[in-house]
Amino acid sequence: MSIADFDIVIQPGWQDSSAEHWQSRWQLAWPDAVRVAHGNWDTPELPRWLDGLDAALAACRKPALVVAHSLGCVTVAHHVRRGGRPIAGALLVAPADVERSGVPAALAGFAPIPAAALPFPAILVASDDDPYCPLDRAEALAGAWRTDLVRIGKAGHINAASGLGDWAQGRVLLELLARTVGGAGPARSGKIR
């Protein structure tokens, strides 16, 4: 299977993804992609975010691959805990550690982060110098969620400020995820590095 066999659901993080963010660039490249709508990106409320993700998944006609960034990754974990609509696979990029000290008050409602294994193939992408999720915490989340982990070196929060442009490496990972969901990729072993 390839990306074309899936609907792509884009789940941005806190304050949305700007036009320069790789998520927004991917959305332009895939006009059929569904971008989650929450109403208020600056004051996130977990129930509204879960409803927004569920509505985006309901709009899909094919199995859905979710492309989540930051707080969006945590939203996916909560979606699973709540028993929301099915997800075929997820690319979880730079999860926000909403349990860290000094977390903005606006994000506190997303803690604690669910620690149950995700019931679908997923790749968690982490940066060695992410200010919002230290590498050891990203590794712990990957272990708890039973996702493969990909470290991409020093890339900050893997957002527009990271200067990744269209982030070709991320597209390769999404294609790998599509093949994994289709049974032609590596097993969910945590061995991707």
Q: What is the pLDDT of residues 18-65, one digit of tens each?
A: 788 889 999 999 889 999 998 788 999 999 999 999 999 999 999 999
Instruction: Give the per-residue pLDDT at 60.
Output: 96
Taking the C-alpha atoms of residue 133 and residue 33, their distance in angstroms, rounded to an integer, is: 27
What domains appear along the chain, each with residue ranges and CATH number? Answer: 3-181 (3.40.50.1820)
Taking a C-beta distance cutoff of 8 angstroms, is the pair 54, 76 a contact?
A: no
Q: What is the pLDDT of residues 95-141, one digit of tens each?
A: 999 999 999 999 999 999 999 999 999 999 999 999 999 999 999 99
pTM higher than 0.95: no
Q: What is the pLDDT of residues 12-31, one digit of tens each?
A: 999 888 788 889 999 999 88
Instruction: Determine the 3-state secondary structure of 133 from DSSP.
Output: coil
How far does Cα 141 stand from its chain's mean position? 12
- pLDDT over 60 at 188, yes or no: no
Dihedral of CA 193/69/86/77: which sign? positive
Tally DSSP H helices, then E strands, for the chain: 5, 6
Instruction: Give the per-residue pLDDT at 163.
Output: 83
